[in-house]
């Protein structure tokens, strides 16, 4: 896997380009990787962009339903709730994820900035 392949997968997931997402999944791109330049996962990013079909496809093909995205500080369940994607939220709950509202973590850059100015 090259970083370019992952980046193209990520961009396609956010844009809702399901055929390109399929191509990269079949090519073996790691769906659970958070590239150091992005610090986000394709699943959480696609959810926040409202790409419901892509999110279901990623879950079907191995995206971890519990993997928090560091950039946004959100789990997939939190992202689905924030985006109002009820079918994805219900699917994640059916997978056994905790339904209690877990507080979102502050994004990494706010924690970094707080330490910088302290």
Contacts 24+ apart (CB under 8 A), 77-83: 77/102, 78/102, 78/104, 79/43, 79/44, 79/47, 79/48, 80/47, 80/55, 82/47, 82/48, 83/47, 83/48, 83/49, 83/50
CATH number of 3-117: 1.25.40.20
Residue 4 has pLDDT above 70, yes or no: no
pLDDT in tens, 95-108: 988 766 666 667 66
pLDDT in tens, 51-69: 999 999 999 999 999 999 9
Locate the domains of the chain by residue range: 3-117
């Amino acid at each position: 896997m090259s970083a370019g392949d992952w980046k193209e997968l990520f961009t396609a997931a956010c844009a809702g380009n399901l055929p390109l997402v399929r191509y990269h999944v079949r090519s073996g791109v790691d769906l659970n990787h958070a590239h150091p330049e992005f610090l986000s996962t394709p699943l959480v990013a696609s959810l926040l962009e409202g790409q419901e079909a892509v999110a279901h496809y990623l879950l079907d093909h191995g995206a971890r339903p519990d993997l928090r995205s560091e950039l946004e500080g959100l789990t997939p369940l939190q992202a689905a709730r924030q985006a109002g994607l009820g079918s994805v939220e219900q699917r994640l709950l059916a997978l056994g994820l905790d339904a209690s509202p877990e507080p979102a973590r502050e994004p990494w850059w706010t924690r970094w900035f707080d330490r910088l100015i302290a």
